Amino acid sequence: MNIYDALKQVEDKKAQYFKWKHDIGFDRNAPKKTEEEFLKVVERKTMNGFIKWEKSNEYKALLLLMLGTQTTNDLHEVYQAVLEKAKQGEDVNNFLKLHKEINESAKVANEVFKPTIKEEETKPSRKLILD
């Protein structure tokens, strides 16, 4: 599950707050709203309810999902830097270690996208007929 899927399960105003606070909205052309502008949008007078919500398990879980995505992006940047050095003959051992770690993580990712038994049953089977 990604952060946007999780935010769909949260009360709308809380989801809006999370996106506003962490600047993860989809519209990158619009400037970030000030606190006052945000409060008008969500029709609240203070941030107190949102600040209290930040101590909840729900908020913490959302934060972990968001950080997981950021960590993945950071890992990609590190991979690119190490790859460039490895191509020049430097830092090859770190590249191999990183490659191994990424492959282990990819196994987890494959489980997320693994088709269920029901999906497999609905796919037409292809048989190779040799003459």
Which residues contact residue 20 at a Cβ distance below 8 angstroms, ignoring those fewer than 6 apart? 32, 33, 38
pTM for the model: 0.68
Q: Answer whether residue 12 shows pLDDT above 70.
A: yes
Residue type, 16: Q
Q: How many CB atoms lie within 10 A of CB 69?
A: 14
3-class SS of residue 55? coil
Question: 70-85 pLDDT, tens per residue?
Answer: 888 899 999 999 999 9
CB-count exposure of residue 4 (10 Å: 0-12, 13-18, 19+): middle
